[in-house]
Amino acid sequence: MPPYVVKDKCDGCKGKEEPLCEQICIGDLMTLDTETGKAYCRSLRDCWDCMSCTKLCPKGAIEQRIPYQLGYHGAKLIPMMGTDSITWTCVDINGKVERFTYRTRNKK
Amino acid sequence: MGNDIKTGIYLCTCNGEIDKVIDVDSLAKEASEWPGIITVHKDAFLCSDDAIRKVREDVKEFGLDRILIAACSPFFKAEEFSGLGINKYLVERVNIREQCSRVHSNDPENATKKAKAMLRVFLEKVKYSHPLQLLQLPSLRSALVIGGGVAGINASIDIAGTDNEVFLIEKNPFLGGRVAGFHKYFPRMCPPSCGLELMFSKIKSNPNVHVLTSSEIDTISGSPGNFEVLIRTSPRYVNEVCVLCGKCLEVCPQNAVVYPEGFSYPGIPAINRELCAVDCNKCAEICPVDAIDLDEDVKVNNIKAGAIVLATGWEPFDPAPITELGYGRLENVVTNMEFERIAKKQKTFFDKPKRVAFIQCVGSRDERYLSYCSDVCCMVSIKQALFLKETNPDNEVYIFYNDIRTPGEYEELYQKARKAGVIFIKGIPSELKQSEPGKISFSVFDTVAGERLDITTDMVVLATGMKPSQGTIDLKDKIGIALNKNNFIESHIQCYPQDTQRNAVFSAGCCRAPMDVSRSIESAGTAAIKTLRFFNNCIEITPDNPIVNTLKCDVCKRCIEECPFKAYFFDEKGFPKSDIMKCRRCGVCMGGCPLAAISLGELSIEQLSEMIDAFDRAYLGEDEPVILGFLCKNDAYRAVDDAGLKGIKYPPNFLGIMVPCAGAVNGAIIAKTISAGVDGIIVAGCPDNQCHYVQGSRLAKARLTDISNKLREMYLEPERVRFISISRDESERFTEIVKEYVEELKKMGRNPLRI
Amino acid sequence: MKKSLPKTIKDVEEVRIETDLLIIGGGNSGCFVAIEAKEKNPNLDVTIMEKAHIDRSGALAAGMDAINTYIGEGETPETIVAWSRAQVGGGPLREDLALSNANILNECVESLEKWGVPFKKDEKGRYKRRGRFDISIHGEQLKPVIAEKTKSYNPRILNRVAATNLIKEGDRVVGAMGFGIRDGKFYVIKAKATVVSTGGAAGLYRSATNDGTTSHHQMWMCPFNVGTGYAMGVRAGAEFTLMEQRWCAARVKDFTGPVDTISVGYKARMINSKGELILQERYAHLGGDTAPRYIRANAPMSEWSDGRGPTYVDTRHLSPEQVKDLKIDYLNERPTYVLFLAARGQDPAKEPLEIYGSDPYIVGGHTASGYWVDTDRMATIPGLFAAGECAGGMPNKFVGGCAAEGVLAARGALKYISSVRHGDPDENQIAAEKERVFFPLVRGSGMEAKYNIPAGQDPRWQYDGVTPEEMEERFQRLMDEYAGGVGQFFKFNEEQLNYAIKHIKMMRDQVNRLFATDLHDLVLVHDVIDRLDVAEVVVMHLRERRETRWPGWQTRTDYPDVDPNLDCFINSRKNLKAGEIEMIKRPYEQILPGDRTKAPSPIPLSAEKA
């Protein structure tokens, strides 16, 4: 499921050499476009949709979209990272909204 | 962690003030059953000597690890509650008076519920506190003064005069700055040689001052109290053996010898090697005492300084771009600085009476060039006009102005000029033309008389303004100081004019703003005092500066980028680390880290996480919305306290937590709070231009906008998270905001994540 | 950082490192190797070569929702080994390896909870069991937790460094070589012991939905695990086992994501388009719902090919609570499956979820393919160890077992390290590898733009060469059609396999036509080279096993029955002089007595609620 970087939200991680998404991508796919100073996925077909980039982006600028080969347009899956929990929001093509929250780290 | 910690809870009733609203007894009873609570004690005056003694005894008897004081605001009685027999960082204050009983007195039942929720939250916070110990880091008692003009010289005299070392560096071969080039300076109209000579003698006679002329800063590293500075000194080619015989000046074919004036310091010539003819050695050959070495090399010195005073001065505005004024194009159009130089040389100025026009505000108060007023130009023109009148009363002198700004006693000089016959006309000339050789003509609309005036003059003096010097701009990155939008040094003008955004770096004179000589000297004195105070305070540091969790850190460098005080450096492993001396503990780094990997010593991400877990989001019952507020300690928290002092009521649905700065609140904490089902979140900071940490408020606002947008995409109401800016005196506004917000949340319904 | 590319091999900078223990692959088992090694010997110099970034790399990138090997109440290491044996139809498997793993399994799993991963608990506070040996976790942070623990011991972690080959000195492995994906440098790492833990091999076959413009990597296994660890071992002449035991599983259709979550965790049974309970109907004699894995894997394919498709797991009995839990499980492992359902407007409580077979993978964590190792996890070449999915002979390791493998490999390596010195490898070998690694990049930077390609199109089409994507596509289709991919319902015969071998060899001969125009492309080039080497071994193994022991994993249409003479390990080793793969048979050694196809369960499955 390829990640799409929303132009208006991405700040290229303040123009550092490697934005966070580039640092974490398990397939070496996310990278900085030096001309626009924004990140992009260099090969949408090669993404394995682990969503590490989406979770990590400090501006929430990455949208995970499902290939049309697999599913219809307009569904969304949005992770919101808490310190030790995560909340997912899923919206289906009929507009139905579901939310899931659970702990991801034990108390210390 | 957690349950083997022994905590004591102390509840103050403030002699009825608190418990007339809050049922302190029921609080005490419930709290005593919480895990880890060893003792709960209620007192009418918890700040009294007797009560404090009891707490200290409890600490010994029960071996208490943590103490919760539920009483007035943490800003009251801080002294009393810091001597409880355990490290003061293991004591947490719960503000059940200013932020509970006094503001919810119309709703005792819910006030009590809120107090209970507050106790639970802060109990969790204190469990995770660390016993921090103060460190003492002395500063080196030496100051680096950059700039040898009037301000720099006076700062050096003041600092060295109290037995501290001073390194005064100046990029030109002579001290004195621009004042040395003046003819006279106001208000007393003394020649600069007089004042400067006195200053120089003070420097000469104080062995604590080390003067380095022809020198510039290469690099500055280290931290407040311990700066390391690399200074590059260009060769002068003449040394102190020189007896000032003047032979080198006579013999030089290129005019390359810069000869000192009578009062100059150092009183030795310098050679401008760039002007020398190839292979010419005439000066070195003729010098009777061998004081000239034309092969002298650049020297690099490494000095250590505890504090830095910036006195890098100003530059005159170049009026050439204002083409209608004809500078550089028309004969006899000069700037005010050029007038000084001419006046210095030609005491009588003109051989016969002439007409001279001064045009004010050249470049200044002009959106195209300098948007500010350059402070001194009106007085300068009056000084120069008076001089013209003194040399020959038949000189006709006009001053064309927008406003005449001669505050305080300078008004007398304005009157004197008028009495002397100087004609002041309110109107700024249009295009200057060369009507005949040596003469300049123009029209001007006299706005007071209401008529047009055509005039031809023998000379026009353009009263050009002050620009910040290139030296200031060059030092910006070397020292890491901030410049304001006009490129003068950024400072907190009304309260701390001499401070910069860096600890132990101060400013003196015109590098901060246009000012005249007397104000420059005053500001130098202030900078000196700040420097001395810095030396004197064995710098007491709490090691609560932020720590980066290197196991999580991905070195995205956002913390380095966003720190308002440039306090981050890279450690040996390449991870960001905060400099304990530069850091001001604002927590902007903690708020911005995308991995929530940074924590302050006094407030960690884990603490905030646990506090949110402990926050009972239904503390007023399942149907009431609750708002958690993160309040900056400088303005917002105080404003909320003030509502308590004034007794202004607001709904108990709001519970506040103090943070160092609005910028310290991390997005993951907000995410966790929303996910925990809290209905509304307020992050409150100082108004943008008043943020004590420069950009904390602005960053908080931007981050919260991002979070709101994310909530919108998640089909949650974006209004559930909001940033408000609150000034210290805006308590009423705050209470209005809370009231409206509670109503809004009631209409919105509960947070859908509140399962 | 966009580096300028080298014009010649000489332009390439080298980084030389000497370390005690080199771990290739910083995934689940690789991290456990590092942690155990440092625990036992804090002064050991440990280096991890990691192709991506250790915080999220490998198959655990999105997380995990369950640990599928944990010995709960009433079970013992012996019962789990017996179960594992039965799941592969009685073997073959290395019972010695399986027992050594099972003995330390629980403590490895429990350490995950200690380090912060939330484990679901039942009302009594015990780990909540969703299957006989499966427990549920909220593992979205599983990899970051393991990575943080690893980092706390301060090993030298080389992120974005891809390993390409082992260094040999005589008959010993003395380290490995690779290249920096960001810095473009050639890495030569000398080590006293080298552990290969690069995970399994995905992308050997065409996946069912890889024809979509943006869904090329739609597969169950992590597509960035290409089998480099296996390939390096093949090229070094190590012995491999059971490479014919491919993991072809039933997966949710199109998305090709995990289905065990649903079928095991929520007791959703397999049905076909007619509503028949497939396993009951056709495989009752093999155990029905508890039939061996390969039966469950193959069942949907048979239904489809016999015209009774589509096939589903029936989730219509789930309560809304259970649907929510089911989605949370997926969010912890393959979150976009929830997006997939949302993008089709599907509610599991109303419609059953489609399943289908996946493309075959070589994963030693699920089946028993991999290096032939001893109980110290040392391969047949001294100095070389295999951990996790790379270690062969033991199926059904999953996350917990691979973690335990890491611990065991660390112990084996430490024992070995204490008795050896650093090797002194021949510089010619290193120079030859440097040439081999960077040749495609140097070639790419020096190619002439021959063809007209307008701006805005992929500039690589200007050059007269072969792009790695083209070779990968050809190769994946070749395997799918001729070596029993999902497109062929996993079936193949001898002639097809011979065809596959022939064309794999032809492609291998043409790898010098591959070119790379940046470092990312260079990764893709080596990915395809490594896959070719692994695939060749796989096909040779498939050919050698002339029987059908595990239909689905290995279905020979020309030898459809079990041959009792092949109740043994089929192994292989590349003869380095001849350059050909040699096949070897090794006997099965039974340690646990009893019927190998049965795994008596002390706790009846049906009594356990999801």
At C120-156, the pLDDT tens digits run 999 998 999 888 899 999 999 999 999 999 999 999 9
Closest chain B C-alpha to C143 CA, distance in angstroms: 12
Sheet holding B7-12, edge to edge: B37-43, B7-12, B66-71, B91-95
- Model-level pTM? 0.83
Give the model's confidence band at C606: pLDDT under 50 very low, under 70 low, under 90 confident, else very high.
very low
- C350-395 confidence digits (pLDDT tens): 999 999 999 999 999 999 999 999 999 999 999 999 999 999 999 9
Answer whether A49 sits within 8 Å of C215, measured CB to CB: no
Q: Give the minimum alpha-carbon distance from A18 to chain B in angstroms, rounded to a whole number.
A: 7
C-beta atoms of B551 and C55 within 8 A: no
Q: Give me the pLDDT at residue C607, please.
A: 44
Looking at domain A1-65, which of 3.40.1410.10, 3.30.70.20, 3.30.930.10, 3.40.50.10800 is its CATH number? 3.30.70.20
**Which residue is it, tokens 């016959």?**
B421
Is-contact B676 B615, C-beta < 8 A? Answer: yes
- Residue B480 DSSP code: I
Q: What is the pLDDT of residues B711-752, one digit of tens each?
A: 998 889 999 999 999 999 999 999 999 999 999 999 999 998
Same topology between domain B1-134 and domain B316-467: no
**Nearest-angstrom CA–CA distance, A92 and C346:** 9
Alpha-helical regions (H) of C88-124 = 95-114
Q: Cβ contacts (< 8 Å) between A26 and chain B: which residues?
A: none
Which positions in chain A touch C53 (Cβ < 8 Å)?
23-26
What is the reported pLDDT for B125?
95
With cut-offs at 50, 70 and 90, classify the pLDDT of residue B306: very high
Q: Which chains touch B (3 or more CB pairs under 8 A)?
A: A, C
**What is the CATH code of the structural domain delimited by B316-467?**
3.50.50.60
Residue of C nearest to B573 (CA): C154
Helix, coil or strand: residue B146: strand
Tell me the average pLDDT across B505-519.
93
* pLDDT (mean) for C205-209: 90
Interface test with C, best of A47, A54, A66 (most C CBs within 10 A): A66
B351 pLDDT band, cuts 50/70/90, is confident
Strand partners for B41: B10
Local confidence band at C602 (pLDDT 50, 70, 90 cut-offs):
low
If you count them, how many residues does chain B have? 755
Please report the number of interchain residue pairs, chain A to chain B, with beta-carbon separation below 8 angstroms. Answer: 87
Can you give the pLDDT at residue B688?
Answer: 79
Mean pLDDT of C155-175: 96
Which pLDDT tens digit goes with each residue over B639-674?
999 999 999 999 999 999 999 999 999 999 999 999
**pLDDT exceeds cutoff 90 at C536:** yes
Domain ranges of chain B: 1-134, 142-234+298-313+472-536, 316-467, 544-755
Whether the CB of A1 is below 8 Å from some CB of chain C: the reply is yes
- Residues of chain A contacting C181 with CB distance shorter than 8 Å: 28
Count CB pairs under 8 A between chains B and C: 8
Partner residue opposite B554 with nearest CB, options A9, A23, A60: A23
CB contact under 8 A, A80 and B671: yes
Looking at residues C470-490, what average pLDDT do you find? 95
Among C53, C324, C339, select the one facing A23 at the smallest CB separation: C53
Of the candidate ranges B295-299, B435-439, C38-42, C77-81, the one whose mean pLDDT is the lowest: B435-439
Across the interface, whether the CB atoms of A87 and B613 are under 8 A apart is answered no
Out of A14, A82, A101, the one facing B561 most closely (by C-beta) is: A14
Q: Tell me whether residue C25 is exposed, middle or buried, using C-beta atoms within 10 angstroms of its C-beta: 0 to 12, 13 to 18, 19 or more.
A: buried
pLDDT band per the 50, 70, 90 thresholds, residue B615: very high
> Quick one: residue C108, left, alpha or beta (phi over 0 = left, psi -120 to 50 = alpha)?
alpha
pLDDT at C300 over 60: yes
Split at pLDDT 50, 70, 90, the class of C603 is low
Share of chain B above pLDDT 70, in %: 99
Residue B324: exposed, middle, or buried by beta-carbon count in 10 A (0-12, 13-18, 19+)?
Answer: exposed
Chain A partners within 8 Å of B681 (Cβ): none
Neighboring chain A residues of B678 at a CB cutoff of 8 Å: none
CB within 8 Å: C151 and B554 = no
What is the complex's ipTM, to 2 decimals? 0.96
Q: Are C548 and C559 in contact (CB under 8 A)?
A: yes
User: In terms of CA atoms, which chain A residue is nearest residue C347?
Assistant: A92
Q: How do residues C538-560 score in pLDDT, each as one tens digit?
A: 999 999 999 999 988 889 999 99
- Percent of chain C clearing pLDDT 90 (strictly above): 79
Say yes or no for a CB contact (<8 Å) between C148 and B551.
Answer: yes
Contact C329, C136 (CB under 8 A): yes
Percent of chain B with pLDDT over 90: 66
Greater confidence (B693 vs B626) lies with B626
Q: Identify all chain A residues contacting B671, using CB atoms and an 8 Å cutoff.
A: 80-83, 87
Collect all residues of chain B within an 8 Å Cβ-Cβ radius of residue A82.
609, 668-669, 671-672, 675
Q: What is the per-residue pLDDT for C608?
A: 43
Given a cut of 70, the residues of chain A with pLDDT beneath it are 1, 15-16
What is C250-357's CATH number? 3.90.700.10
Question: How does DSSP assign B263-328, residue by residue?
Answer: T-SS-S-EE-GGGPPTT--HHHHH-TT--B-TTPPPEEEEEEESEEEE---EEE---TT-GGG-TT
Q: Give the pLDDT confidence score for residue B347 in this predicted structure.
A: 67
pLDDT tens-digit readout, C60-101: 999 999 999 999 988 999 999 999 999 888 879 999 999 999
Q: Which residue has the higher pLDDT, B495 or A97?
A: A97
Domain boundaries, given as residue ranges, for chain C: 250-357, 428-568
From B550's Cα to the closest Cα of chain C, the distance in A is 9
**Which tokens belong to B436?**
């005949």
Closest residue on chain C to A76 (Cα): C339
Residues B712, B189: Cα–Cα separation, whole Å? 68
**CB-based contact, A45 to chain C, within 8 Å:** yes
Helix or strand run (H / E) with residue C541? helix C519-544
Chain-chain contact of C255 with A42 (C-beta, under 8 angstroms): no
**Mean pLDDT (chain B, rounded):** 91
For B518-564, how does the pLDDT look when each residue is reduced to its tens digit (9 = 90+)?
A: 999 999 999 999 999 888 876 777 788 899 999 999 888 889 988 98
Which class would CATH give C428-568? mainly alpha
Interface of A with C in 7-36 (CB under 8 A): 17-18, 23-28, 31, 34
Regarding the domain with residue range B142-234+298-313+472-536, which homologous superfamily does it belong to in the CATH classification? FAD/NAD(P)-binding domain (3.50.50.60)
The stretch B460-468 carries a mean pLDDT of 94
**What residues of A are in the B interface, CB distance below 8 Å?**
9, 13-14, 16, 19-20, 23-24, 56-60, 76, 78, 80-87, 89, 91, 97, 99, 101, 107-108
Nearest CA in chain C to B552: C148
Disruptive mutation site among A10, A32, A62, A80 for chain B (greatest number of B CBs within 10 Å): A80
The shortest C-alpha distance from C116 to chain B (Å) reads: 13
Tokens describing residue C557: 């249409």
Q: Is A97 on the interface with C (CB under 8 A)?
A: no
DSSP per position, C434-501 = HHHHHHHHHHHHH----S---TTS-GGGGSSSB-HHHHHHHHHHHHHHHTT-GGGTTEE-HHHHHHHH
Do A16 and B556 count as a contact with CB atoms less than 8 A apart? yes
Structure tokens at B229: 């500075």
Distance from CA of C442 to the nearest CA of A (A): 20
With 50 as the cut, is the pLDDT of residue B91 above it?
yes
Tokens of C452: 């007209």
- Which residues does chain A have within 8 Å of residue B608's beta carbon, measured at their own beta carbons? 83
HSE-up of C254 (CA within 13 Å, CB side)? Answer: 19
Distance from CA of C217 to the nearest CA of A (A): 5
Residue type (1 letter), C580: E
Write out the catalytic residue numbers of A: 48
Interface of chain B toward chain A, CB-CB under 8 angstroms? 1-2, 554, 556-558, 561, 592, 594-596, 605-606, 608-610, 613, 666-669, 671-672, 674-676, 706-707, 709-710, 713-716, 752-753, 755
Average pLDDT score over residue span C307-333: 93
Are C185 and C13 contacting, i.e. CB atoms less than 8 angstroms apart? Answer: yes
Neighbours of C (≥3 Cβ pairs closer than 8 A)? A, B
Reply yes or no on domain B1-134 having CATH 3.40.50: yes
* CB interface of C with A, residues 172-191, below 8 Å: 181-182
Please report residues of A whose CB lies closer than 8 A to that of C331.
86, 88, 100
CB contact under 8 A, C343 and A23: no
Coil, helix or strand at residue B744? helix
Going by pLDDT thresholds of 50, 70 and 90, the confidence category of residue B582 is confident
Among B390-404, B495-509, C313-327, the least confident range: B495-509
Q: What is the pLDDT of residues B121-175, one digit of tens each?
A: 999 999 999 898 888 888 899 999 999 999 999 999 999 998 899 999 999 999 9
A8 to chain C, minimum CA–CA distance in Å? 23
Contact C342 A91 (CB under 8 A): yes
**Structure tokens belonging to residue B667:** 């997005």
Chain A residue whose CA is closest to B609: A83
Strands B423-426 and B433-436: unpaired
CB contact at 8 A, B156 and B205: no
Query: CB–CB of A26 and C341 under 8 A?
Result: no
Q: What is the pLDDT of residue C213?
A: 85
Contact B21, B12 (CB under 8 A): no
